Amino acid sequence: MLEIGSYIADRYEILEKIGAGGMSDVYKAKDQVLGRFVAVKILKPEFAEDVNFVSKFHTEAQSAAGLSHPNIVNIYDVGSEEHVHFIVMEYVEGITLKTYIEKKCQLNYKEAISIAIQVARGIEAAHNNQIVHRDIKPQNIMISNEGKVKVTDFGIARAATSNTIHSDVMGSVHYTSPEQARNGFVDGKSDIYSLGIVMYEMVTGRVPYDGDTTVAIAIQHLQEEMIPPSEFAPDLPISLEKIILKCTQKSQDRRYPTMGELLVDLKQALMNPNTDFVVMDTGINQGKTTVIGEDEVRGIKEQTSGRSYPTKVNTPESPQVTKVDDDDDDDDDEGFLNPKMEKVVTILGLITAVIIIVIIIYLIGSMAGIFKGKNKNKVEELPQQEVVEEEGRIEVIDLRGLTFDEAKAQLREAGLNIYQAGVEASEEYEEGQIISQDVEPGEMVDEGTTVRVVVSAGKLEEEVTVPKVEGLKDTAAIGMLQDAGLDYVREYESSDTVAEGTVIRQTPAADSKVAPKTKVTIVVSQGKEAVTVPDLKNKTQEDAQKELEALGLAVGTVNSDYDDTIPEGSVIDQSEIAGKTVYSGTRIDLVISLGPKEVLYYFKANIKLPDNDTVVAANIHLTDADGNMLDSWDNISADSFPFSIEVDNIPSSEGTLSIEWVMESEEGEITTSTQEKSYSFSPMNE
């Protein structure tokens, strides 16, 4: 540990220790040369003599030093002295995203998307420079006191070659991708997966996979289904949930191909959170469950613990001999398939087999109508309906009379989604059966479309009057509905006229008679629509205005200034920085280029008569370097000399003064003589 007050490289004064990682300690320091605070990362002494660790440590600086982006912590310096290896980087005054989540428990969707957009921009910049971070987690994301989000610690990143990167180091296991867990091939999609886990934690306050050991967590990434985040955050918009689910697909091919495409959906979700626009890959190979062999488990254990584990090999003397490296042969709490564990796994396997058989019997029985509740008013059974696909589009089946779970199973198999929009009393359908759907049967829709349905609450035996909640704050509206014995569904919508958090409209309408526990949908205002400010620099004023108006923004004050690099008529600067989220209708001030600033010159001269008694007059002309006339004085009599001339606002820096002398002899003969001289004019501001 460095002493407070000591110096690194005779330049960086160590002020305090501010953090520690697996390989290094981080100190706040003062750069005495530039007079600014910096963060200095010091490789821990136990690794300083390890050539491999030192190499990785310096690779971090080399790979990240070339990155310059507002959402990446900048690297300033790297070096070594007296076996101390250090990296000097930007000091961010603030807290980590991990600490922020711990303080707030759950972030609202707007805040989560805003943070995710900034993180994605930083990672995208790295990917564009062939650098994969490979350790994206909330601990490596800083939030400054001004709200700026920056990605830090490219500790295990390295520049990609033309080949795919092979992962030889695991990131933190809660956020690691399946391919990292199995020591597979890693590219930018691994960072997309990890960012998806971070978004999950932001909106739910918890990680999707957890366990007592790193091995157990890693295996969950490979095998376990993720509980949808909406289970823990009921008000989570569908767009953000689907973005998270798409990012965290176990198959790399089913995630977003690039950070750029993820950013497009994140920005769309910020503006239209309740629109179901995210396109999910609904291929047959879902990439969900993977059978893991002993070799893969051993590899996972070695990555997460740094130890070597037994490898079974066959020999003539013994079909299964355990070959052990030079580690102690003690029992390992994280051991996989030791004798006790094998017995447990065997029992679990039998239980799983029984469960699968029961499920199969239930599904067959359901399709045959054995377990299905029947509609007393319907004579016909409701068989499994054939799903028609045509050129990538899917025909929506008739869901009426099916239970929600039955409809969900059939739609999911067809590549569609379902959403329960409400519950209503019905004389025709039994409780739990679907009454209506927002997409008519037979209509062709795109894959991933969500069908909204209303479920029967059974016959109306008791009526409840729906209270009027429009115009109330959402919390007050919910309380009023619950007091009336009703449930609620809360949706959000942008509004320029209704204050944020206020109910815009409700369904069913006020004073409607409904069954108890009916779900009343309230649409709550998000306030003015959020818009991301575009980058207008170098665009013409006309194009900038069109782009702003298309986004619901407006041009504010327009000023002008000279610029040597931006063409005349194009935007030099804008009042709101590109990428900032503002409300619809915000006015953006512009500064328009006048082109390069014109320099004007002046010329002064005091002209004397030549030593010639016959001169009677003169004609004086001043021209620029191209011969264009700047000014002239004709028929100046000899009595007017010495003659002073002064010309201002000359656009050229050089010119020629030409004097034609008119002479008259004693005999009255008129002759002329011309005198020319070039001059450099003086700038008017000097």
How much is the pLDDT for 367?
A: 55
Mean pLDDT, residues 360-382: 50
- Helices of type H across 129-230: 178-181, 188-204, 214-223
- pLDDT tens by residue, 407-453: 988 998 888 888 777 777 788 888 889 999 988 998 998 887 888 88
- pLDDT tens by residue, 450-508: 888 888 877 766 788 999 999 998 888 988 998 888 888 888 787 878 888 899 999 99
47-56, 189-198, 323-332, 389-398: lowest mean pLDDT where?
323-332
User: Which token pair is 649?
Assistant: 């606002």
More confident residue, 156 or 459: 459
Do 23 and 43 touch, CB atoms closer than 8 A? yes
pLDDT category, 320, cuts 50, 70, 90?
very low
pLDDT category, 392, cuts 50, 70, 90?
low
Is pLDDT above 90 for 347? no
Active site residues: 135
Beta-strand relationship, 84-90 and 94-96: unpaired
Mean pLDDT, residues 246-275: 92
**pLDDT > 70 in the chain, percent:** 79
Phi (first) and psi of residue 360, to 5 degrees: -60, -45
**pLDDT > 90 in the chain, percent:** 37
More confident residue, 348 or 13: 13
How much is the pLDDT for 164?
A: 36
Is pLDDT above 70 for 588? yes
Distances (CA, A) of 85 to 17, 26, 66, 92: 16, 12, 19, 21
The Cα 118–Cα 137 span in angstroms is 14
Is pLDDT above 90 for 345? no
More confident residue, 459 or 379: 459
- pLDDT tens by residue, 85-133: 888 999 998 899 999 998 888 899 999 999 999 999 999 988 988 888 8
More confident residue, 197 or 384: 197
Is pLDDT above 60 for 314? no
The Cα 444–Cα 463 span in angstroms is 37
| 49-58, 124-133, 423-432, 620-629: range with highest mean pLDDT | 620-629
The Cα 480–Cα 492 span in angstroms is 19
Do 96 and 141 touch, CB atoms closer than 8 A? yes
How much is the pLDDT for 525?
A: 85
Q: Where are the beta strands (DSSP E) in 472-586?
A: 487-493, 503-507, 513-514, 519-525, 530-532, 554-561, 571-574, 581-583
How much is the pLDDT for 286?
A: 43
Neighbours of 362 (CB within 10 A): 12
User: Which token pair is 484?
Assistant: 């009336």
How much is the pLDDT for 416?
A: 87
The Cα 174–Cα 138 span in angstroms is 11
Q: Which amino acid would we find at residue 519?
A: K
pLDDT category, 60, cuts 50, 70, 90?
low
Mean pLDDT, residues 231-243: 93
Do 551 and 588 touch, CB atoms closer than 8 A? no
pLDDT category, 199, cuts 50, 70, 90?
very high
The Cα 285–Cα 275 span in angstroms is 27
The Cα 380–Cα 402 span in angstroms is 12
Stated as kind and residue range, the H or E segment containing 364 is helix 339-368
> pTM for the complete prediction?
0.47
pLDDT category, 346, cuts 50, 70, 90?
low
How much is the pLDDT for 191?
A: 95
Quote the mean pLDDT of the chain: 80
pLDDT category, 180, cuts 50, 70, 90?
confident
Do 38 and 91 touch, CB atoms closer than 8 A? yes
Cα–Cα–Cα angle for 236, 241, 247, nearest 5°? 150
User: Which token pair is 82?
Assistant: 């007296």
DSSP state of 420: E
Do 134 and 269 touch, CB atoms closer than 8 A? no
Beta-strand relationship, 450-456 and 417-424: parallel
Do 48 and 29 touch, CB atoms closer than 8 A? no
